[in-house]
Amino acid sequence: MSNKIAIITGASRGLGKSTALHLARQGVHIIGTYHSREDEALQVAAQVEALGVKAKMLQLDVGDSSRFDAFASQVADALGAYFNAERFDFLVNNAGIGLYASCAETTEAQFDQLMKVHFKGPFFLTQKLLPLIADGGRIVNLSSGLARFSPVGYAAYASMKGAIEVWTRYLAQELGPRGITVNSLAPGAIETDFGGGTVRDNADVNAWVAANTAMGRAGLPDDIGAAISMLLGEGGRWITAQRIEASGGMYV
């Protein structure tokens, strides 16, 4: 993986940050994005560079597709200016937000926001970046265990992740001739800031997750960074169009 270049959306915190650090340890240069936490993104860039690879952080709202052409131009410029390259190798569509609401209570505004950030955003961002992904590259789209199991309160969010899994298969078909693999990685409940940090900070929720997980604990960001890094590594070269769940065995 040495000297490959990865774009990771939402690399300032949580799973994206862990993925950036795992890849950096294997010699992969990082283009990360953040939405509002530039300070945290720059700290991640410093940690990545301390591992001996290059890092560039770019601002991006994945919910605003009108900016994607400009973002693709920024990526092309950054590839030339910072990495002496014309293409990148790995795309990790990771950025996201949580929403806890029943079907009865979800508003149209909440639904539209989730749809833009979790489905329309990755779909059209990837479309705009396709000319910049090297043949033989890899794409990983973040889904969720909630696309398989269905506790009340996640209908709209999980439906977007279900859409991600369907789209992943179609994209894998289209990009196979270019040697590009496309998979969805579905984490279980992981201890990050996501959804207000509930899984990490609410002891009852954390214990409930642990009790329903074969491995007996909630997930940690490094569990997911390691799984994504594995998919992007040599061992993942013949895996495409798949949904891979990294949940420690939730609800099996």
* Alpha helices, H only, the chain: 14-25, 38-50, 68-83, 108-115, 121-129, 155-175, 194-201, 203-211, 221-232
Binding of ligand NAP by 162 (CB under 6 A): no
Q: Please, what is the minimum distance in Å from the beta carbon of residue 163 to ligand NAP? A: 13
Contact with ligand NAP (CB under 6 A) among 3, 36, 73, 102: 36
Query: 156 near 199, Cβ under 8 Å?
Result: no
Binding of ligand NAP by 35 (CB under 6 A): yes
161 belongs to the catalytic site: yes
Which residue is associated with the tokens 């899994």?
Answer: 165
Q: Which of 34, 54, 56, 157 is catalytic?
A: 157
157 belongs to the catalytic site: yes
CB nearer to ligand NAP: give 137 or 187: 187
171, β-bridge pairs: none
> Going residue by residue from 98 to 127, which x/- string records binding to ligand NAP, judged by CB under 6 A?
-------------------x----------
Contact with ligand NAP (CB under 6 A) among 199, 228, 232, 250: 199
Binding of ligand NAP by 63 (CB under 6 A): yes
User: How would you list the strands of the sheet with 55-59, edge to edge?
Assistant: 55-59, 29-34, 5-8, 88-93, 133-142, 181-187, 243-246
Binding of ligand NAP by 148 (CB under 6 A): no
Binding of ligand NAP by 140 (CB under 6 A): no
143 belongs to the catalytic site: yes
| Residue among 214, 224, 243 nearest 148 (CA) | 243
User: Which CA distances in Å does 1 have to 108, 118, 155, 240?
Assistant: 43, 28, 37, 18
DSSP secondary structure code for residue 132 in this structure:
G
Q: Please, what is the minimum distance in Å from the beta carbon of residue 172 to ligand NAP? A: 19
Binding of ligand NAP by 187 (CB under 6 A): yes
Q: Which of 18, 143, 184, 229 is catalytic?
A: 143
Q: What positions carry a catalytic annotation? A: 143-144, 157, 161
